[in-house]
Amino acid sequence: MELKRSKPHFIWGSTIMLLGIVLFTVAGLKFIGAGITFSGLMLIFIGSYWATKRKTEIPADEMHLRINEKAGFNAFWDVIGLVGILMYVTHYFPDLLEIRDVIELVIIVGMFTFGASRLYYIRRGLS
C-alpha cells in the first residue's frame, strides 16, 4: 500500500471532516455539517482505495479530465447566477429566506449541476 499517493486524500479528508463537525456542533448547521462530514469521510475512503491499487490501474484519461473541467465550469457559473438571483430576492424580500436555506440551496444546486453536466458530456462525447 503506497501512502504517498493517497496522503493528500487523508489530509484533506480529515480537514473536511473537522470542518463538518464544527459546523454540525458549534454553528448549528445540521444538514450542511453532516454532508460535509460525510464527504470528508468519503474522501478518506477514496484515498485508501487508491492506495491499494497499482499505479498502472489508475486511469488518467484526458477525456475524463476535460469532462470534469467543463462540468465544473458549468456548475460554477450556474451557482454564481443562482447566488446573484438569491441576493436580489433577499434584498427585496428580506424575511423570505434565511441564510441557512440559501447555503443549502446553493450547495445542492452546485452538486446536481455538476453531476448533470458530467453525465451530459460523457454521453455526448467531447470534441
Same domain assignment for residues 6 and 48: yes
Same domain assignment for residues 2 and 21: yes
8 closest CA partner among 48, 38, 35: 48
In the structure, how many helices (H) and strands (E) does the chain have?
A: 4, 0
Buried b (16+ CB within 10 A) or exposed e, 94-118: eeeeeeeebeeebeebbeebbeebb
Same domain assignment for residues 54 and 29: yes
25 HSE (CA, 13 A, CB side):
6
C-alpha 60/C-alpha 104 separation (Å) is: 32
C-alpha 54/C-alpha 46 separation (Å) is: 14
pLDDT in tens, the chain (127 residues): 555 556 777 777 778 778 788 877 877 777 777 787 888 888 778 777 777 766 665 565 777 788 888 888 989 999 999 888 888 888 888 888 887 888 888 888 888 999 898 888 888 876 5
Domain that holds residue 124: 59-127
State which of 11, 31, 58 marks the end of a domain.
Answer: 58
Same domain assignment for residues 49 and 34: yes
